[in-house]
Amino acid sequence: MTAIETHRRALMHVAEETTIRLIPIEDIRVLNPRARNKQVFARLVENISALGLKRPITVAPTTGGTESYEIVCGQGRFEALQALGEKKIPCIVVSASEADRYLIGLVENLARRKHSNRELLMSIQILSDRGYTCQQIAEKTCLDAGYIHGILVLLRQGEERLIAAVEKGWLSIKLAMEIARSKDVDLQQAMIEAYESGVLKGEQLMRVRRLVDKRKTFGKRYGQQAPRTEKPTPQKLLHAYQVEVRRQKVMIKKSDINEQRLLIIVTAMRKLLTDDYFRTLLRNEEIPDMPKPLADRILGETP
């Protein structure tokens, strides 16, 4: 029996069962326990306390002759009712093998959870590692086989930045593979060819250029530091010092220019505010105030 047939049979067990039974809480155990977010669980407890249980949990009898049950679906609801001090829990009892129980719980968890793009892409890599071809993965995921091949190439090379750009839709998988395969000296020529052929246009070209620069500076993965291939030397330290000195001199010069411009504005505003016609114009335009830092300078309260 295939996994799909097992899945369908497991779902039919749930669909055919309509009787709801009250089962003592001590007779139930969790089949496949999982950790929970404390805040999410607290909201679930609060919701059940205020509104009651909207949907019974699904359980299956255990083998061995004892009157006990294993949770198939509804661990969160079960634990919330436990926290509220309930003695019995409304349950739907199904007859299913242990494999079917795991499958039903897995399907419910997958259907409820919102997966990130990264998790979905890593699932593609897992399928590939298990021996599935690009065509087989494409049939399972309803994606193009060429896209699957490109994503696998990028995943194996750790190209997280390129994958993110592809997923956002502004970088084609073909160009991402070209960037991943090209050496630094070849990237410029590749981008020129992409621009001339119309693959990259205007703002998109600038975005790709910035992406390539970040990839070169910070690495292929997010949070990764670019490897240092050269040892620092006195000459390099001196050069870095000189570059920083020049940067700070430029910053001071810009600050002086801005200070002069602000002084001109303050002087002009002082003269204008002594003009009755200008003050009348401000009142007519319903401009009763001005930014406090500017007002303080005009009034002479700040240097």
pLDDT for res 13: 45
pLDDT for res 186: 65
pLDDT for res 200: 65
- 105: nearest Cα among 2, 29, 16, 33: 33
Pair (195, 266) in one structural domain: no
**Range(s) of the domain holding residue 162:** 117-218
pLDDT for res 110: 56
Q: Could you report the average pLDDT of every consecutive run of 10 residues in the chain (303 residues)?
A: 43 52 88 74 86 84 76 86 89 78 64 60 79 84 80 80 74 75 67 67 71 70 54 78 87 89 87 88 84 80 57
Residue 92 φ/ψ, nearest 5 degrees? -100, 125
**Domain termination site, one of 112, 141, 161:** 112
**Domain termination site, one of 191, 218, 245:** 218
Is residue 224 situated within a structural domain? no
pTM of the complete model: 0.35
User: 160 to each of 132, 166, 172, 174, how far by Cα in Å?
Assistant: 22, 10, 14, 15
pLDDT for res 65: 60
Pair (87, 131) in one structural domain: no
Q: Read off the amino acid at residue 59.
A: V
pLDDT for res 146: 83
Query: Which residues is 73 bridged to in the sheet?
Result: 58
User: For the chain, how many structural domains are there in total?
Assistant: 3
Pair (124, 214) in one structural domain: yes
